[in-house]
Amino acid sequence: MFAKNLTKIYYGKTVVDSVNFEIPKGKVLSLIGPNGAGKSTVMGMISRLVASDAGLVDFEGTAIHKWKSRDLSKRLAILTQTNNIQMKLTVRELVSFGRFPYSGSHLTAKDIEIIDQAIGYMELTQMQEQFIDELSGGQRQRAYIAMVIAQDTEYVLLDEPTNNLDIYHATNMMKTVRRMCDELGKTIILVLHEINYAAFYSDYICAFVGGRIAKFGTVKEVMTKENLSEIYGVNFEIQEVEGKPLSIYY
């Protein structure tokens, strides 16, 4: 999967400017950068939620907008931040929607097995009959992740999955992301604001500034004092913790 000369213009303002990159398969890639750098828009374009104005996103040899939406939904899943449901939906029912691309509304025995596994994987078995709107933010986020797991796609795109979560739940979310990559072999792309989560839990980092890619490389390559200062415009110190470069900014 790669992007070529990807461009997005909103009301005459170029938000994403001719961006090129390739997504490493089976790894965790974090998109970071200051507000308005275009990382969420890039995420939208590679997941077909946002139409690009120029350039293309190639997914397995075919431009992403030429894919049949149904076929694509078996290969690539996206979870955005805006998830408000008006329906009375239980955790299990939500997770079952992950099987919609495969079986529609009629679940097969295999679907039910996969749903069970996804719920167990996210440790939601005890609360699977609870209604989504009665859960805490962290639990709800886990339910959505379980749905994405049930969707059983090679690629998983998460737009700020740690948003609105406290430190405990955010850290657990990042651990889950790592596990989904290591244990389930998924390729994961995240938009993150917390650079230390990006540094600790991902394999690659892509930093955006002003709609362009400022740095793209392994965590070690990108997480240097000079790079980060340049990207964010504030002072940085880098410290190693468990062999990973973590940053302190002030």
Partner 1 sequence: MLKGKELALPAKHRNRQYAIETKKKNSIGKLLSIAALVVLAVILYMTLNVRVDNPKLFWYSMSIRTPKVIAMLLVAFCIGGASVVFQSVINNTVVTPCLLGMNSLYTLIHTTAVFFFGAGSLAARNTNVAFAVDLALMGTIATFIYSFMFKKTKYNVLYVLLIGTVLSSFFSSTQATMTRIMDPNEYDTLLATLVASFSNINTEIIVFAVVVAALVIFVLRKDLALLNVITLGKEQAINLGVDYDRAIKRLLLGVVLFIAIATAMVGPISFLGLIIANLSRQLLRTYRHGYLIAGSALIGMVLLVGGQLIVEHVFVYSVPISVFITVGGGLYFLYLLLTQKRRL
Contacts with partner 1 by CB under 8 A lie at 47-49, 68-74, 77-80, 82-89, 92-93, 96-98, 100-101, 104-105, 107, 112, 114, 116-121, 125-126, 128-129, 149, 151-152, 183-185
Cα 170 to chain centroid distance, Å, stands at: 14
22 versus 133: smaller Cβ distance to partner 1: 133
Rounded to a whole number of angstroms, the minimum distance from the CB of residue 127 to partner 1 is 11
Q: Determine the Cα–Cα distance for residues 158 and 31; give it in Å rounded to an integer.
A: 10
27 versus 212: smaller Cβ distance to partner 1: 27
- CA angle in degrees (0–180, nearest 5) for 115-198-208: 110
Going edge to edge, which strands form the sheet with 155-159?
76-79, 155-159, 187-191, 28-32, 204-209, 212-218
Q: Determine the Cα–Cα distance for residues 183 and 175; give it in Å rounded to an integer.
A: 12
101 versus 245: smaller Cβ distance to partner 1: 101
Rounded to a whole number of angstroms, the minimum distance from the CB of residue 241 to partner 1 is 27
Q: How far is CA 105 from CA 87, 111, 132, 147, 219, in A?
A: 16, 11, 19, 14, 42
Q: Residue 141 corresponds to which tokens in the numbers above?
A: 């986020």
User: Amino acid letter at 40?
Assistant: S
Rounded to a whole number of angstroms, the minimum distance from the CB of residue 247 to partner 1 is 31
Rounded to a whole number of angstroms, the minimum distance from the CB of residue 90 to partner 1 is 8
Coil, strand, or helix at residue 13? strand
Coil, strand, or helix at residue 160? coil
85 versus 248: smaller Cβ distance to partner 1: 85
134 versus 240: smaller Cβ distance to partner 1: 134
Coil, strand, or helix at residue 219? helix
130 versus 224: smaller Cβ distance to partner 1: 130
Rounded to a whole number of angstroms, the minimum distance from the CB of residue 40 to partner 1 is 12
Q: Determine the Cα–Cα distance for residues 146 and 125; give it in Å rounded to an integer.
A: 11
Q: Residue 139 corresponds to which tokens in the numbers above?
A: 């639990």
- DSSP annotation of 242 reads T
137 versus 185: smaller Cβ distance to partner 1: 185
Rounded to a whole number of angstroms, the minimum distance from the CB of residue 220 to partner 1 is 27
Q: Residue 240 corresponds to which tokens in the numbers above?
A: 């190693």
Rounded to a whole number of angstroms, the minimum distance from the CB of residue 163 to partner 1 is 15
Is the Cβ–Cβ distance between 190 and 138 less than 8 Å?
no
